[in-house]
C-alpha cells in the first residue's frame, strides 16, 4: 500500500486525523537533515546528519584522517572532534598548514603544563599562549626552575606524548568552572575565569590526568606532539603588572617535523653567533650603558659605520630630488594635540616643562616637515616637493622591550616626506620602490617582501580617494615587477601603505622600509598649495623611509654579515703588518699612501708595527674581521710589493701596492 506514496498520504488514508498528526511529527523529527560539506577544491560531500571534522577526513581517505589535526569550518579554526550541523565550507588542517603548526604549538604548551604538574604538583599554572616559533607557559612555584628541571620536564613531555592520550573538550558554566579550579587548588585559573562575564560558558580541555582552561582548538591526542624542545626560563609578572607576583615563564619551540625542528635550532645557533650585541662588544662598535637605558654609545669604529651609512643615504637624497631639512628636537604640546599624538601616543612620549609650557621630545619627524612646508605659499608647480631628514626621535619604550640597538628609546630615521597631488602618488611610489631596491642591494639584501596594507574599518577620507591611493600603491609595485601581498584592513586610519620587509642571510624577516599615503595630517595642520585652477588644495603627504631607524638597520647589517661588513662599510678596511722592525718605515709609507688617496677614495687603514710574531698578528686581527691584511717582509720591501690576505683566511699572494689599491677600490665601487 505504501509503494509510491509518502508517509503522510498513507497515514491519512489509514488512521484517524489526530493519530496521523502525532505520527507525522514523530516521523519528520526523527530524521536529521542532510549536511553538505564543500571542500577547498569545490567538490561536495553529503552526510545524512551532523558530522565531525574527523569523520569528513575519514570519508576522504585514511591518510588524511591520520594526518588531521583540526579543521576550518567557514574559516573558523575548530577541533577535529567539532560537529558540523549545517551546510558548511570545510578544509582539513594538517601539520603542513600554518594553522596546523599553531595547533601543535598551542597543544604543546598544554603538554608542558601537564608535565610540570606531574613532576611538581605544587606548581600552579597560569597562561600558555603560542608565540612566534613556539610557545611559553607561566607558572607559580616556590623555587626557581633549574636547567636540570627543564631536562626532566622535557623528558616527561615526551613520555606523555608517547602515551597518545586523547585531548577531550568539555564546556562548563562560568561559576561551576571557577569552583572546579578552586577545588583543584588552581587559583590563577579561577581568577581568570572570574573575570569572564557571569552567565557565560567556558571550555576546558583534558588529556589524561590534566585539565586546563582554554578556548582551543587543540590536536586530537598527545601523540601528535613529537618534535619540541624547551629553550629557557625567564621571569614574568602575573598579568604583565609589575605590582603582581613574579612568575616563571618556560619557553619552548615545537615543529611539524624533526627536520624543521633541527633547522630552527641551527638557525638559533647561527643567530647567536650573529647577535649584534655580542659582535658590537667583540668588534668594539658600541655599547649600551645602564646610565642611559635604551640609548647608544657609539665607539669610533661603530661611528665610522654609522657615518658611511648616513653619507650613502645623504647621497641618495641628493641624487633623487630630496631637499635635506632639520627640525627641532623639542616641540610644544599644542602641535602634538593638533596631530592627535598627544591623545593617542602620550604614554610613549618624553615630556618636559619650561616657563609653564609643556613640551615633548619628538617621537617622529612628520609634523615638523609640515611646518617647514607651510613657510611661504606653495604652488602646484612646486609639487612634488621632497623633504629628507636624518631626524633624531625619542620614544619611551618599556624596559622589557629594549633590545641592543634594534629597539631603543633614542633613534635616528632616514625620514622623508613627499608633498604631492593625488595624481602624483603612482609615479612617486614607482620611483621610490626602484630607489629602495637599489639601496637594499647595495647593502647586501636582494630578497624583499612587498605588502600593501589596505583601508581599515575606521578611517578618514572618501572611498574614491582610498580607491585611488590603494590602486596607485599596488600598481607601483607591479610596475616594479614585485609580487604583491595584500594585508586587508591593516592600513592606517589616514591612508594605505606599502611595507617593505627584508629577508636576511638566515631567513629572518625585518620590516624596514615603508611608503604611507596620508590624507589627514596636512588638513590637521592646515597645509595648502595653490592649484592650477587658482584655488587652494590640500597636498597628499607620502611618508617614506628606506632604512628606517639607523640604529636598527646597522644592527641588521651586523647580523646579516655576521660582523664581516662589506669593504665599503668596514670600519677598518686594511691592516698593514710588518714582520720585523726593518720593514716599519716601508709599512708606514704604504699606510700613508692608501690613507691619502685623492678625493674621497682614502682608505681606512690600521698599522701594526708591534714586535710580535706575524702569525700572532694575523690571528689577532682576523678576529676583528677586516677585509684585508697586508704583510711586508724584506722581500716585499725590496720589490715594492705586499703579501695580501683576504678575510676568511684567503691568501691572494703577492702584488704591487698599486695593484692592491686597484683591487680594493673595485670592491668599494661595486659594493662587494
Instruction: Point out the residues that are catalytic.
Output: 366, 395, 413, 415, 417, 497, 543
* Cell of residue 287, nine digits: 655599547
* Cell of residue 332, nine digits: 610644544
- CA gap 54, 60 in Å, rounded: 10
Other residues' Cβ atoms within 10 Å of the Cβ of residue 253:
21
- Is the CB of residue 572 less than 8 Å from the CB of residue 624? yes
Helix spans in 365-514 (H): 366-373, 425-442, 463-479
- CA gap 484, 457 in Å, rounded: 22
Other residues' Cβ atoms within 10 Å of the Cβ of residue 480:
17
Residue with cell 582548538: 217
Element (H, E) at 229: strand 227-237
- CA gap 22, 24 in Å, rounded: 5
Closest Cα partner for 546 from 668, 646, 443?
Answer: 443
**Cis before residue 217, ω within 30 degrees of 0?**
yes
- Is the CB of residue 518 less than 8 Å from the CB of residue 460? no
- CA gap 330, 355 in Å, rounded: 14
Strand pairing partners for 158?
none
- CA gap 504, 560 in Å, rounded: 6
- CA gap 371, 361 in Å, rounded: 16
In Å, what is the CA distance from 533 to each residue of 464, 529, 582, 586?
A: 21, 11, 79, 72
Closest Cα partner for 559 from 445, 645, 400, 670?
Answer: 445
Query: Under 8 Å CB-to-CB from 384, ≥6 apart: which residues?
Result: 418, 419, 420, 421, 424, 428
- Is the CB of residue 584 less than 8 Å from the CB of residue 554? no
- CA gap 317, 330 in Å, rounded: 25
Burial of 594 (0-12, 13-18, 19+ CB in 10 A): buried
* Cell of residue 574, nine digits: 686594511
Per the rule left: phi > 0, alpha: psi between -120 and 50, beta: everything else, 162 is alpha
Per the rule left: phi > 0, alpha: psi between -120 and 50, beta: everything else, 9 is alpha
Other residues' Cβ atoms within 10 Å of the Cβ of residue 634:
12
Residue with cell 536529521: 32
Helix spans in 127-168 (H): 147-162
Closest Cα partner for 450 from 497, 478, 483?
Answer: 483
Query: Under 8 Å CB-to-CB from 585, ≥6 apart: which residues?
Result: none
* Cell of residue 213, nine digits: 582552561
Query: Under 8 Å CB-to-CB from 248, ≥6 apart: which residues?
Result: 138, 139, 140, 141, 144, 145, 233, 234, 235, 236
Q: Look at residue 144 and give its three-state secondary structure.
A: coil
Element (H, E) at 58: helix 53-60
Closest Cα partner for 413 from 355, 365, 376, 446?
Answer: 365
Amino acid at each position: 500500500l505504501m509503494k509510491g506514496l509518502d508517509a503522510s498520504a498513507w497515514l491519512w488514508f489509514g488512521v484517524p486525523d489526530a493519530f496521523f498528526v502525532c505520527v507525522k511529527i514523530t516521523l519528520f523529527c526523527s530524521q536529521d537533515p542532510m549536511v553538505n560539506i564543500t571542500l577547498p577544491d569545490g567538490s561536495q560531500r553529503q552526510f545524512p546528519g551532523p558530522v565531525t571534522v574527523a569523520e569528513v577526513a575519514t570519508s576522504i581517505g585514511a591518510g588524511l584522517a591520520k594526518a588531521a589535526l583540526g579543521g576550518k569550518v567557514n574559516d573558523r579554526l575548530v577541533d577535529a572532534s567539532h560537529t558540523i550541523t549545517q551546510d558548511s565550507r570545510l578544509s582539513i588542517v594538517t601539520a603542513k598548514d600554518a594553522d596546523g603548526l599553531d595547533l601543535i604549538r598551542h597543544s604543546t604548551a598544554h603538554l608542558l603544563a601537564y608535565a610540570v604538574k606531574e613532576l611538581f604538583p605544587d606548581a600552579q599554572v597560569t597562561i600558555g599562549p603560542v608565540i612566534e616559533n613556539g610557545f611559553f607557559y607561566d607558572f607559580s612555584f616556590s623555587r626557581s626552575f633549574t636547567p636540570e628541571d627543564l631536562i626532566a620536564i622535557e623528558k616527561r613531555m615526551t613520555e606523555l606524548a608517547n602515551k597518545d592520550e586523547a585531548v577531550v573538550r568539555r564546556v562548563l558554566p562560568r561559576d561551576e568552572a571557577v569552583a572546579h579550579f578552586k577545588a583543584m587548588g588552581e587559583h590563577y585559573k579561577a581568577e581568570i575565569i572570574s573575570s569572564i562575564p557571569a552567565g557565560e560558558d567556558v571550555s576546558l580541555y583534558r588529556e589524561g590526568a590534566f585539565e586546563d582552561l582554554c578556548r582551543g582548538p587543540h590536536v586530537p591526542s598527545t601523540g601528535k606532539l613529537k618534535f619540541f624542545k624547551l629553550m629557557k626560563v625567564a621571569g614574568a609578572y602575573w598579568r604583565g603588572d609589575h605590582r603582581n607576583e613574579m612568575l616563571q615563564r618556560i619557553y619552548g619551540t615545537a615543529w611539524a617535523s624533526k627536520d624543521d625542528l633541527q633547522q630552527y635550532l641551527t638557525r638559533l645557533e647561527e643567530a647567536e653567533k650573529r647577535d649584534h650585541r655580542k659582535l658590537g662588544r667583540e668588534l668594539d662598535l658600541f655599547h649600551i650603558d645602564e646610565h642611559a637605558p635604551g640609548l647608544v654609545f657609539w665607539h669610533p669604529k661603530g661611528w665610522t659605520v654609522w657615518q658611511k651609512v648616513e653619507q650613502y643615504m645623504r647621497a641618495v637624497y641628493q641624487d633623487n630630488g630630496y631637499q635635506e631639512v632639520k627640525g627641532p628636537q623639542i616641540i610644544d604640546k599644542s602641535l602634538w594635540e593638533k596631530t592627535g599624538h598627544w591623545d593617542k601616543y602620550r604614554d610613549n612620549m618624553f615630556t618636559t616643562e619650561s616657563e609653564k609650557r609643556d613640551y615633548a621630545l619628538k617621537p617622529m619627524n612628520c609634523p615638523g616637515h609640515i611646518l617647514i612646508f607651510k613657510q611661504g605659499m606653495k604652488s602646484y608647480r612646486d609639487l612634488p616637493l621632497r623633504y629628507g631628514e636624518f631626524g633624531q626621535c625619542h620614544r619611551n619604550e618599556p624596559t622589557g622591550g629594549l633590545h641592543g640597538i634594534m629597539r631603543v628609546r633614542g633613534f635616528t630615521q632616514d625620514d622623508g616626506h613627499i608633498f604631492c597631488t593625488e595624481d602624483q602618488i603612482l609615479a612617486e611610489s614607482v620611483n621610490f620602490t626602484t630607489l629602495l631596491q637599489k639601496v637594499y642591494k647595495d647593502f647586501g639584501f636582494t630578497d624583499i617582501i612587498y605588502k600593501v596594507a589596505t583601508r581599515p574599518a575606521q578611517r578618514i577620507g572618501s572611498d574614491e580617494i582610498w580607491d585611488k591611493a590603494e590602486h596607485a600603491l599596488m600598481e607601483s609595485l607591479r610596475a616594479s615587477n614585485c609580487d604583491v601581498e595584500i594585508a586587508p584592513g591593516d592600513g592606517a586610519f589616514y591612508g594605505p601603505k606599502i611595507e617593505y620587509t627584508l629577508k636576511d642571510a638566515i631567513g629572518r624577516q625585518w620590516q624596514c622600509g615603508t611608503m604611507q599615503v596620508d590624507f589627514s595630517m596636512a588638513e590637521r595642520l592646515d597645509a595648502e598649495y595653490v592649484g592650477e585652477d587658482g584655488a587652494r588644495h590640500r597636498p597628499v603627504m607620502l611618508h617614506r623611509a628606506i632604512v628606517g631607524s639607523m640604529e636598527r638597520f646597522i644592527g641588521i647589517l651586523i647580523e646579516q654579515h655576521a660582523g664581516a661588513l662589506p669593504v665599503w662599510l668596514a670600519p677598518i678596511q686594511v691592516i698593514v703588518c710588518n714582520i720585523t722592525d726593518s720593514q716599519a718605515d716601508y709599512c708606514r709609507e704604504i699606510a700613508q699612501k692608501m690613507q691619502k688617496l685623492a678625493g674621497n677614495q682614502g682608505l681606512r687603514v690600521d698599522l701594526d708595527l708591534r714586535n710580535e710574531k706575524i702569525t700572532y698578528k694575523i690571528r689577532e686581527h682576523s678576529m676583528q674581521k677586516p677585509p684585508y691584511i697586508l704583510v711586508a717582509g724584506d722581500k716585499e720591501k725590496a720589490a715594492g710589493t705586499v703579501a695580501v690576505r683576504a678575510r676568511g683566511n684567503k691568501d691572494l699572494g703577492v702584488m704591487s701596492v698599486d695593484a692592491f689599491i686597484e683591487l680594493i677600490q673595485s670592491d668599494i665601487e661595486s659594493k662587494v
